Amino acid sequence: LFSGDSLQLTGTGAAMFPILDWGTRRATVKIREEDREQAYQRYRSVVLRALRDTEDALTRIDAEQRRHAALARAIVDAQATAKAREAQYRTGFVAQDSLLDAETRVMQAREQLAASDAELRQYSAALYKALGGGWEAAPAGGGAGR
């Protein structure tokens, strides 16, 4: 069983096997390289999408913060105008509709500021999401039936 002839035959058979694989190894290597390239392209796509989403969120936040500041100034101006109109109305220099218009402008500016607050919160959440925050992996096994 362990004679020199049987060992030599086994060694020769093992040495010949890689030569006669009919290109299987090359094909396997090529498939692995293509799989790696596809995985890289998927990863690259995800990273580029995350960068784009982050940049978009930062741009929206910046623009909305400027709008928010302008609206806050508009409220101060509208309140000053309404206060002046009220004083003028009490002294009889302007009609009541002028006072009501000024008060309406104050309310509209406040509504716009509230909407701007909501936009800022929404854009901040989008930024948080783009940066990968707030997401938990699904539990193994789907979590059903517990």
Angstrom distance (rounded) from CA 33 to CA 25 = 12
List all residues 6 or more positions away from 56 whose beta carbon is below 8 Å from its beta carbon.
126, 130
Name the phi and psi angles at 133, rounded to 5.
Answer: -90, 155
Percent of the chain at pLDDT > 90 equals 67
Where residue 25 falls among pLDDT bands split at 50, 70, 90?
confident
Q: Is 47 exposed, middle or buried (0-12, 13-18, 19+ CB in 10 A)?
A: exposed
Question: Hey, how many other C-beta atoms are within 10 angstroms of the C-beta on 57?
Answer: 20
Q: Give mean pLDDT, residues 62-66.
A: 97
Query: Does 4 have pLDDT greater than 60?
Result: no
Q: What pTM does this model have? A: 0.64
Confidence check: pLDDT of 146 > 50 = no
pLDDT at 132: 84
Q: In whole angstroms, what is the distance from residue 116 CA to residue 71 CA?
A: 8
